[in-house]
């Protein structure tokens, strides 16, 4: 009989250790719970959920016509199982379909915590003498399961080859 009790105790101990990372159990100095009970609202005033993922966006820099640039979406903390769709809108002085290939919302952020929005700049359909740069602005929008971090907007400039090379 003692042997079975020892085995049961060992199995329960192993299961408890396996569950520690899942429930994010951490000791507190005052001995209280680290999270409010599930039936209590953590923010009575309706503030943001601290367990929600925070999404930010960054541009990798300006792009020359005919090349590809990108925006990087970052989610913290990353979701280990699955991912999340994030809404965004595109604005700026550049025209979708004329200056660059259109971007479609929403974007999927995988379990790595990152997503990349590729911006393929099209050749200049305007006169070759037009060396003006055009902006592409990606702005994150609210959605379920995440909050917006800072920065929530990023800008990329599409420049003609002569502007980037300082041609005369």
Residue 27 is assigned to a structural domain of this protein? no
Residue 148 is assigned to a structural domain of this protein? yes
CA distances from 34 to 27, 50, 99 (A): 7, 13, 51
- The chain-wide mean pLDDT, for the chain, equals 79
pLDDT in tens, 7-19: 777 777 677 666 6
Residue 82 is assigned to a structural domain of this protein? yes
Q: Let me know if 162 is exposed, middle or buried by CB neighbors in 10 A (0-12, 13-18, 19+).
A: middle
The listed range with the strongest mean pLDDT (43-47, 74-78, 153-157) is 153-157
% the chain with pLDDT above 70: 65
Residue 43 is assigned to a structural domain of this protein? no
Q: For the chain, how many structural domains are there in total?
A: 1
pLDDT score recorded for residue 1: 47
User: How many H-runs (helices) and E-runs (strands) does the chain carry?
Assistant: 2, 10
pTM: 0.65
- Tell me the pairing of strands 53-59 and 146-148: parallel
Residue 32 is assigned to a structural domain of this protein? no
Which residues are CB-contacts of 58 (< 8 A; sequence separation ≥ 6)? 71, 72, 74, 151, 154
Residue 61 is assigned to a structural domain of this protein? yes
Residue 67 is assigned to a structural domain of this protein? yes
Residue 79 is assigned to a structural domain of this protein? yes
For residue 104, the enclosing domain spans 53-165
Render 138-163 in DSSP notation, one character per residue.
Answer: EEE--BTTEEE-S--EEEEEEE-HHH
Do the Cβ atoms of 51 and 145 come closer than 8 Å? Answer: no
CATH of residue 85 = 2.60.40.2030
pLDDT in tens, 48-97: 555 678 999 999 999 999 999 999 999 998 877 778 899 999 999 999 98
């Amino acid at each position: 009989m003692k042997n079975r009790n020892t085995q049961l105790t060992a199995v329960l101990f192993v299961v408890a250790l396996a569950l520690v990372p899942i429930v994010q159990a951490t000791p507190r100095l005052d001995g209280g719970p680290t999270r409010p009970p599930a039936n209590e609202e953590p923010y009575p005033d309706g503030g943001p959920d601290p367990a929600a993922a925070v999404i930010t966006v960054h541009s990798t820099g300006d792009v020359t016509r005919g090349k590809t640039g990108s925006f990087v979406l970052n989610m913290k903390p990353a979701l280990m199982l699955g991912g999340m769709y994030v809404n965004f809108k595109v604005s700026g002085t550049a025209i979708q379909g004329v200056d660059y290939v259109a971007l479609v919302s929403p974007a999927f952020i995988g379990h790595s915590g990152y997503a990349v929005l590729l911006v393929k700049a099209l050749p200049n359909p305007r006169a070759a003498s037009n060396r003006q740069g055009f902006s592409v602005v990606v702005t994150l929008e609210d959605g379920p399961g995440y909050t917006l971090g800072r920065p929530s907007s990023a800008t990329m400039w599409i420049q003609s080859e002569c502007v980037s090379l300082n041609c005369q």
